[in-house]
Amino acid sequence: MYRIMIVEDDTAMADVMKKQIESWGNQVMCVSDFQNVMGAFAEYDPHMVLMDIMLPFFNGYHWCTEIRRVSGVPVVFISSASDNMNIVMAMNMGGDDFIPKPVDLEVMTAKIQAVLRRAYDMPGRVPVLEHRGAVLNLGSASLVYRGEQIDLTKNEFRILQTLLENKGKVVSRDTLMTRLWQMDSYVEENTLTVNVTRLRKKLEGAGLENFIGTKVGSGYIVQ
C-alpha cells in the first residue's frame, strides 16, 4: 500500500482521482491548503505526489522545487497545458512523469504504478520533520524555510531534531544534553544555553519568530 498526495485545486477532479487510486488499495490525501503544501507533505510523508501545474498562490513548478530540496519522492505533474514546452518544463523541474488533462483514469493508473515500481525498487526515502512550514531534512541535516536554507551547526541540528521529534511536548534540558552526549558531542549546561540562543537567532533571522519556547524549570518546546 502506497500513500499518494494529490495537489489539485479542482476538488471534483481530485475526488475522482482519489477514488480511482484508492480502488487499487492505496491511501490518498488531497491537499486543501495551497499556501502550505510543504506542511502537508511533511505531515503525510507520501510515497508519491500528483501535482497540478496551475494552482492558487504558487504553481506546481514552485512546489516541486520545494519538494526536491528535501526529498526525492516521485512527483507526477497533471495539467491541461500538455504542450511539449510544459512537458519539458515539468521534467526539468524535477518531475518524474506528466499526465495530460482531461485525465484518462486508466492511463493515470498505469503511469502511477510504473513510477512507483521504478522508485521503490531503490532504497527508501529520506525522512523529514516539519513545523510551521520549516522542513528539517534528516538525511542532509539541513533546514529549509520559504525556499531558503538555514545553515545549522551539528549541535543546533541535533537540538532542533530532538525538539521536532517531540513536537507538542516540553523537552527537558537533561534530555537535550543526553541526546548530544549520545551523539558524541558533549556539552556543558551553559553551552546548551548558548546553542539554543544562537539557534533561536538564526530562526528569527529567517522569519521564524518564537519558534522555540522556554518552559521555566522544565525545558524547551517548539511552538
Span 97-121, pLDDT tens digits: 888 888 889 889 988 988 888 877 6
Secondary element (H or E) of residue 222: strand 219-222
The predicted structure's pLDDT at residue 100: 86
Q: pLDDT: is 131 or 11 the higher one?
A: 11
Neighbouring residues of 30: CB distance < 8 A, sequence distance ≥ 6: 5, 6, 8, 11, 14, 15, 18
> What is the per-residue pLDDT for 214?
93
Q: Which residue has the higher pLDDT, 39 or 184?
A: 39
d(CA 59, CA 180) in angstroms, rounded, equals 40
Say whether pLDDT at 126 is over 60.
no
The pLDDT of residue 52? 92
Could you give the C-alpha distances from 162 to 114, 126, 173, 215, in angstroms and in order? 37, 17, 11, 16
Give residue 98's pLDDT: 87
Query: By the 8 A CB rule, do 5 and 27 touch?
Result: no
Contact between 158 and 183 (Cβ < 8 Å) = yes
The number of beta carbons lying within 10 Å of the beta carbon of residue 60 is 24
Q: Is the pLDDT of residue 7 over 60?
A: yes
Please give the share of the chain, as a percent, with pLDDT higher than 70: 91
Going by the DSSP 8-state scheme, the letter that residue 96 receives in this structure is S
Is the predicted pLDDT of residue 181 greater than 80, yes or no? no
Please give the Cα distance from 51 to 159 (Å, whole number).
33
Q: What is the pLDDT of residue 56?
A: 92
Query: pLDDT confidence of 186, banded at 50, 70, 90?
Result: low
Assess whether pLDDT exceeds 70 at residue 68. Answer: yes
Dihedral sign for Cα atoms in the order 40, 146, 214, 187: positive
Q: Read off the pLDDT of residues 78-92 as tens digits, 9 standing for 90 and up.
A: 887 656 666 777 777
How confident is the model at residue 131, as a pLDDT? 83
Place of cell 541535516: 141
How far is it, in rounded angstroms, from Cα 90 to Cα 58?
15
Q: Which of 163, 158, 150 is nearest to 69 (CA)?
A: 150
Q: How far is CA 105 from CA 19, 115, 169, in A?
A: 10, 15, 43
The pLDDT assigned to 180 comes to 78
Order of strands, sheet of 148-150, starting from the edge strand that comes earlier in the sequence: 128-131, 134-137, 142-145, 148-150
Look-up of cell digits 519558534 = 211
What value, to the nearest 5°, has the Cα angle with vertex 87 and ends 81 and 90? 100
d(CA 125, CA 110): 22
